[in-house]
Amino acid sequence: DASVLPVESTLREGEQFANAFFDTETKVKIAKALDDFGVDYIELTSPAASEQSRKDCETICKLGLKAKILTHVRCHMDDARIAVETGVDGVDVVIGTSSHLREHSHGKDMTYIIKTAIQVIEFVKSKGLEVRFSSEDSFRSDLVDLLSVYSAVDKVGVNRVGIADTVGCASPRQVFDLVRTLRGVVQCDIETHFHEDTGCAIANAFCALEAGATHVDTSVLGIGERNGITPLGGLIARMVVADRDYVLSKYNLRKLKEVESLVADIVSFSSCGGLSMSWWLTNSVQINIPFNNPITGFCAFTHKAGIHAKAILNSASSYEILKPEDYGLSRYVHFASRLTGWNAIKSRVEQLGLSMTDAQVKLCTQKVKAMADVRPLAIDDVDSVIRAFHLDLTAAEE
């Protein structure tokens, strides 16, 4: 179902990315870009994390964005009290429920967790705000424990319960099963959160939706703790295939590349803020849009093999499930290689404004391929071969 609502967490989970340092101005820029893109929810770092985090939360709430602003806090009254004063539309509450986290993180038992969760939820609701309750490390938690917390919080009117694959261990089938089971237990919406440790973050999000989840946490380029979470752009690509018209009407897809480039630039250079030049030289990392990123990777709409080029020149849908023009991007037919075919070369001949018969293009293609067998070719190299071949033809005619 493509009507999924991304809870955009670049300004919360994304701030947990190793290379992220977001000052106020940067956070405002990111929040505005996400709002322009059309996300419904923007999640911010806990105001209890630091004084500046609290102020930034207030600043973003005052921007008057269309998106609802959420903040993310531990399941504790102290945090909840700070959160409701910031001006947010909702509070996302989280507590670890696996034995790993109960024993090594907060040391609380299930009775305490349920009692505190209910107290926090009732408090946030009494302020007229939305509230979500999530269990951290859900996939390594006891199923009976999980379902009893979720059904308890559902009964007190929580807006959403959340499942989190905190360590990235879940497989799509496990996700489907857990969400399906939970769907039968609670009435409220179901939010999901997937880490990318084993490369399943988009697939898991999609399986969750198929099983009845309503919300998916994302971040731009997937930035987050360790190697991050479900990327916004990748989830969008997945959703476009499921329901293109809906996704096109809901999101400003032509802004996707801009949002991704903005965040890539910010996390590339942010680490120099206030630090010495020598620290910066050894620790700074250039972050780029990944080469194989869905939609925005540099070769996401490049077609190379002769067979592919021929079909794509006839009809784009032959080898493209997404349309580059939906994102303000363009298709590229690669022709400077030994794998090229005469249809690709013919198209290049036409782009160069030259005229040749098909038989001549085929001969010219043989020359290109022969040269490409010897060394890698640039576009200019191929253009020179084509121009020289064309010149010979005209000379022969005269």
Catalytic residues: 308
Give the shortest CB-105-to-ligand HCA separation in angstroms. Answer: 9
Write out the H or E segment, with its range, that includes residue 173: helix 172-183
Q: Determine the size of the site formed for ligand HCA (CB under 6 A).
A: 13
Q: Which is nearer to Cu ion, 8 or 13 (CB)?
A: 13
Rounded to whole angstroms, how far apart are CA atoms 143 and 145?
5
User: Residue 8, interface with ligand HCA (CB under 6 A)?
Assistant: no
The contact mask relative to ligand HCA for 215-234 (x = CB under 6 A, - = no) is ----------x---------
Nearby residues of 357 by Cβ (< 8 Å), 6 or more positions away: none
What minimum distance in Å lies between the beta carbon of 270 and ligand HCA? Answer: 19
For the CB of residue 114, give the shortest distance to Cu ion in the complex, in Å.
22
Select from 11, 30, 57, 94 the one that contacts ligand HCA (CB under 6 A): 94
Token pair in block for residue 203? 């697939």
Q: Which of 27, 54, 193, 346 binds ligand HCA (CB under 6 A)?
A: 193
134 binds, among ligand HCA, Cu ion, none (CB under 5 to 8 A by kind): ligand HCA
Nearer residue to ligand HCA within complex by CB, 56 or 136:
136
Q: Which is nearer to Cu ion, 41 or 342 (CB)?
A: 41
Contact by Cβ (8 Å): 297, 328: no
C-alpha–C-alpha distance, residues 346 and 356, integer Å: 8
Question: Quick one: which of 134, 159, 204, 219 contacts ligand HCA (CB under 6 A)?
Answer: 134
Supply 369's token pair: 């391929």
Q: How far apart are CA 364 and CA 382, in angstroms?
A: 10
Shortest Cβ 213–Cu ion spacing (Å): 16
Using CB under 6 A as the binding rule, the residues of this chain from 160 to 179 that contact ligand HCA are 162, 164, 166
Of 8, 15, 79, 136, the one binding ligand HCA (CB under 6 A) is 136
Residue 158 contacts which entry, ligand HCA, Cu ion, none (Cβ below 5-8 A, type-dependent)? none
228 versus 233: smaller Cβ distance to ligand HCA: 228
Strands 41-44 and 215-218, sheet pairing = unpaired
The pattern of x and - marking residues 64 through 93 that bind ligand HCA according to CB under 6 A reads --------x-------------------x-
Tokens 């990315």 map to which residue?
A: 17
Residue sitting closest to Cu ion (CB): 13
- Asked if 163 and 132 count as a contact pair (C-beta separation under 8 A), the reply is no
Please choose, from the candidates 370, 374, 320, the residue with its C-alpha nearest in 3D space to the C-alpha of residue 345.
Answer: 370
Q: Which does 162 bind (CB under 5 to 8 A by kind): ligand HCA, Cu ion, none?
A: ligand HCA
| Shortest spacing between CB 283 and ligand HCA, in angstroms | 22
Report the nearest approach of ligand HCA to the CB of residue 57 (Å): 16
Q: Decide: 326 and 320 in contact? Cβ < 8 Å.
A: no
**Which CB, 8 or 136, lies closer to ligand HCA?**
136
Q: Please give the C-alpha separations between residue 136 and each of 52, 133, 152, 395, in angstroms, as whole numbers.
A: 25, 10, 17, 75
The CA angle 300-304-307, to the nearest 5 degrees, is 120
| Residue 320 CB contacts under 8 Å (≥ 6 apart), including other chains | 301, 312, 331
Q: What residues line the site for Cu ion (CB under 5 A)?
A: 13
Nearer to ligand HCA, 7 or 253 (CB): 7
Question: Which residue number, 75 or 354, has a Cβ lying nearer to ligand HCA?
Answer: 75
Q: Which of 315, 398, 310, 396 is nearest to 358 (CA)?
A: 310
Give the DSSP H/E element, type plus range, for residue 194.
strand 189-194
Distance (Å, whole) CA 123 – CA 85: 12
User: Nearest distance from residue 263's CB to Cu ion, in Å?
Assistant: 17
Single out the residue of 338, 329, 331 nearest to residue 302, CA to CA: 331
CA 372 to chain centre: 37
Distance CA 379, CA 377 (A): 7
Residue whose CB is less far from Cu ion, 14 or 341 = 14
Residue 235 and residue 202 in contact, taking contact as beta carbons nearer than 8 Å? yes
By CB under 6 A, name the one of 8, 13, 130, 145 that touches ligand HCA.
13
Minimum distance, C-beta of residue 195 to ligand HCA, in the bound complex (Å): 6
- Positions touching ligand HCA (CB under 6 A) are 13, 16, 72, 92, 94, 134, 136, 162, 164, 166, 193, 195, 225
